Structure 1
Amino acid sequence: MKWSKLNSTWQSAVANNRLLMISNVGLTGLVLVMGLKLAQTHERIIIVPPTVNTRYEIDWDGATSDYFKDIALWLTGTIGTINKNNADYVVTVVTRFMDPAISKTVSESLRTYASNPSVALNSTMSWFEAKSIVWEPPTNRVFVSGSLFSQSTGNRSASKDVTYEYTMQMVGGKPLVTAFTSYEDTPHTLTWQRKKDEETP
């Protein structure tokens, strides 16, 4: 074998090996980038439940207003049934949707309400009937207003107007309440607050 031919073949093999090494490095980098991208990508789910007339669009960190409004309505309906007999169940269900920062406070408030003598001694059944649900985009708040009814055995039902206020957001694909309060008044929206400020001397 001639030296020139051997040298040419050797140089060609070295060049091919270099190309293969470069392509392998490139493919490895591409796989890593794609893997990282897939790890950070979350699907958007569109749900059309049979009991509603609209669809929900749920992202990893967001959802349509109808979804938040229906979650708030469901939570309010659950809270509205609380009494001394089902307090543990209601607290367990409701606090699953509460941010850890407020979960303990909400739990204590619900238990305090259920153990209140006016509720624990007189109310054997309670329920909430919603009259309006307002979604406020700038603050991510949902206001559920309606009447909270209570009735004891053998007596007529009593009611009071209540507004439940939720600040909600999607965290890791799950609806989470980051602030919660209730009051016997109209919804404390930004418009309500502005009017209140204007009335203050």
Structure 2
Amino acid sequence: MLSRRSFLMQLSGAVAVAEAFPRSLWAEDKAVHVPGKEGMIVRSARFLDLEMPMEDLKIWITPLPHFFVRNHMHEPSTLDPSTWALTISGEVESPLTLSLADLKKLELHSVINTLECAGNGRAFQQPHVPGVQWERGAVGTARFSGPRMRDLLQRARVKSTGKHVMFRGLDEVPGKVPAFIRSIPLEKATDADTLVALEMNNAP
């Protein structure tokens, strides 16, 4: 990060996490049942990490029931689309707060992207590396649709001092664990293919 004063884009709803927990917490728990995700491999029940069996990697676009799930914290216990909001603040001239309805009114674009957890294949690493013991199924390809992030940033009028966009979601953080925040360079955030996704494979 080039500037600690880089602006914060608080993206409500996303998921994500540090790998600082004992190995035992990452053990598989095949007894966990997740509606709509039948047949997935449960790699962690603590924050719910689901891996796609390799036999499901048969087609270019991964169906949502087979798409891997990576959580670094607890998912929000309640999430009401009617009150959810995205806030852009920090190194901007005009801070914004947009509802889901506001975002849906903007021009939407679609991209096909492949997502892969950085730890995919960790189970095969030698020497052993702690963390979720993914094999090869923490990867998937989907069609994402939503407004371009650069259109939102233009509305907020990013200052010349803004260098990165930082994302923070509604993850429920246990105890004194710090919030999980990640950033991307402003150049990447304003790329034409960088979206605030509202749909995945045509589903909200």
Q: Which structure has the highest helix share of the two?
A: 1
* Bigger RCO (CA 8 Å, 6+ sep): 2
TM-score (norm 1): 0.26
Give the number of the structure whose residues are more often strand, by fraction: 1
Larger Rg: 1
